[in-house]
Amino acid sequence: MDNGTVRSVLVTGASSGIGNATARYLAERGCLVFGTVRNEKAAAELGAIPNVVPVLLDVTKSNEIADGVRKVTDAGHGLYDLVHNAGLGDLGMGCPAKRTA
């Protein structure tokens, strides 16, 4: 950032796909990116990217969310933005699909 301010961004679902590409894009442009992932392997891969801090959490588990909030808060930068990309893997978000014969 040109004014010397660290802009921290939380990107959920950063282990692959659009979330990973977004984390990389923002990090390359000087943002400090906190990227959520659900496993240690993904955390190690994400942590290898400069300016990216992996946050191990599942967005469906409140205790993991609380731990993630603490990790971001403890970094001391606050958040400039949030990219909520994590999916739940259930199209319709719990609404059963209507079957037709």
Q: Which CATH number fits domain 8-83: 3.10.20.70, 3.30.70.1150, 3.20.20.70, 3.40.50.720?
A: 3.40.50.720
pTM over 0.85? The answer is: no
Which one, of 41, 34, 6, lies nearest residue 19 by Cα? 34
pLDDT of residue 52: 97
pLDDT of residue 6: 86
pLDDT digits over 21-73, tens only?
999 999 999 999 999 999 999 999 999 999 999 999 998 899 999 999 999 99
Per the model's pLDDT, the better-predicted residue between 89 and 20 turns out to be 20
pLDDT digits over 73-92, tens only?
999 888 999 999 987 665 55
Contact 85, 19 (CB under 8 A): yes
